[in-house]
A and B are shown apart, each in its own frame.
Chain A
Amino acid sequence: MFFVISYDVVDDKRRKHLSDYLESYGVRVQYSVFETELNQSQLNQLIKGIKKRIKADEDTVRVYPIAKDLREMIITIGTNKGQFYDKDVLIV
């Protein structure tokens, strides 16, 4: 499933930690927005990892699932940084 993750983190250091972590899962499409394709176990792992990196009473992270057929309908105005890593095999 495809997910959009957006966050509001108050503390600079914490924000940096979280965004570095999210880099390992997906693509930063905007300053505090990531996109990523995840299976169920990766999603569970990601949520656990996010919980460890934020302060629950100050910060917010939202994870939006997006259906496959809707993904094609995402509209980008301006620069598009989106890239989908949904293949099982990559041969370089």
Chain B
Amino acid sequence: MILYITEQGVVLSKELGKLIISKQGDTINEIPLKKIEKVNLMGNISLTPQILNYFLENKIEVVFMTQYGKYRGKLYTNEYRNVILRLKQYERSNDQSFKFKMAQSIVIGKLRNYYDFLSNKSKNLPRGTISEEIAALRKIIEKTRGSTNIEQIMGLEGIGSKYYFQGFAKLFKSDEFKFEKRIAHPPKDPVNAMLSLGYSLLYNEIEAAMNAVGLDPYLGNLHTVDISKKSLLYDLTEEFRCIIVDNFVINAINRNEFTVNDFEEKEEGIIHFTKDAIKRFIDKFEERLNSKMKYHLDDEENYIRTIFEKQSRHYARVVLGEEEQYTPFYRK
């Protein structure tokens, strides 16, 4: 069982074989410890030393996030490190032609998913609604194929994303949700709040997959290597953003699963989920992660979490030189 704690001021403690969730002395819930696979803590939550020790001893992953889902850190136990793979990663991080090829694949993959996504959605829209954006994306993908350096690729990625979000903004059926452009931190409208939380949950999943494979999330290709920046994590998330998160957000809104009343203005101009809505969002997002899709490299139906892991393994094989070309995930 994956546990999310969104209720503020809660205390997690251990009593015999149970995790006790309490608030101001009252037990809200109790769960047999062996049922717990992963714990996500959002905001102001306390852990007793006993439960903390249990999580450490049993290698239960505990992720710390802000109340609104922004990643803060993790309780690290013995993270799996594949030393040979990591050495190769360090070596590759100085290999400019490898980094260039990788960055190019990643950005083409991301833009291609954008292109497929918009093309697909345009079938249900009045003719020509987003044809400008689709055509622009096609052109930018071509340019990326012909690019010669990473700076150029990053520039093209920026332009491509701009066109994509311009098209994305036109996919909302109701006028209730106004989306002008992607603003990451802090979100200034409900759609950006949903995207931010979705991406944040997605990062957690991809990082877990990378840890399972033994990759170092700090050594990437496209995003520059920076102190305390998990550039590979960002790299490998690119291809999934639109398929996993954007699609989910647009469907949730167009099916009226969320309304503007599910959001409130906290500080000046910053929009957040209400307490109840954040739980609903996580619940539906988890449901999405527990559904299946076809993995593009072997045509097998897999749980989405398995796809994240398969894709990390694929990346690792390319790093080790066992495979020639990295192929970002796409929907067949």
Contacts and interface: CB of A to CB of B under 8 A. Distances in A.
B298 to A, nearest CB: 24
Interface string A32-60: 00001100001001100000000000000
Contacts of B5: 92
Contacts, number: 61
Given A24-B16, A89-B286, A92-B10, A36 B32 contact: yes
A42 B7 CA distance: 29
A8 interface: no
Contacts of B34: 24-25, 42, 45-46
Given A85-B32, A91-B279, A92-B21, A23 B6 contact: no
Given A23-B32, A24-B34, A25-B34, A88 B286 contact: yes
Contacts of A22: 17
Contacts of A37: 35
A26 B2 contact: no
Nearest to A90: B3
Nearest to A89: B286
B31 A85 contact: yes
Nearest to B5: A92
A12 interface: no
Interface residues of A, number: 20
A46 B32 CA distance: 13
Contact of B29 (A20, A24, A90): A90
Interface residues of B, number: 24
B290 interface: yes
B283 interface: yes
Nearest to A24: B17
A47 B21 CA distance: 28
A49 to B, nearest CB: 9
B1 interface: yes
Contacts of B7: 92
Nearest to B16: A23
Nearest to B15: A23
A90 B18 contact: no
A64 interface: no
A88 B290 CA distance: 9
A5 B6 CA distance: 33
A22 B16 CA distance: 10
Contact of A24 (B18, B279, B290): B18
B155 to A, nearest CB: 40
Interface string B3-47: 111110010000011100100000011011111000000000000
Contacts of A24: 16-18, 32-34
A28 B1 CA distance: 19
Most buried by A among B5, B10, B16, B290: B16
B200 to A, nearest CB: 15
Nearest to A26: B32
Given A24-B32, A24-B33, A42-B34, A90 B2 contact: yes
A92 B17 contact: no
B239 to A, nearest CB: 25
B304 interface: no
27 contacts: A20-B17, A22-B17, A23-B16, A23-B18, A24-B32, A24-B34, A25-B17, A25-B32, A26-B32, A27-B32, A36-B32, A42-B34, A85-B1, A88-B2, A88-B286, A89-B2, A89-B3, A89-B283, A89-B286, A90-B2, A90-B4, A90-B29, A91-B6, A91-B282, A92-B5, A92-B6, A92-B28
Complex A-B, nearest 6 residue pairs according to Cβ-Cβ distance, in ascending order? A24-B17, A23-B17, A24-B33, A91-B4, A89-B286, A23-B16
Interface of A: 20-27, 36-37, 42, 45-46, 85, 87-92
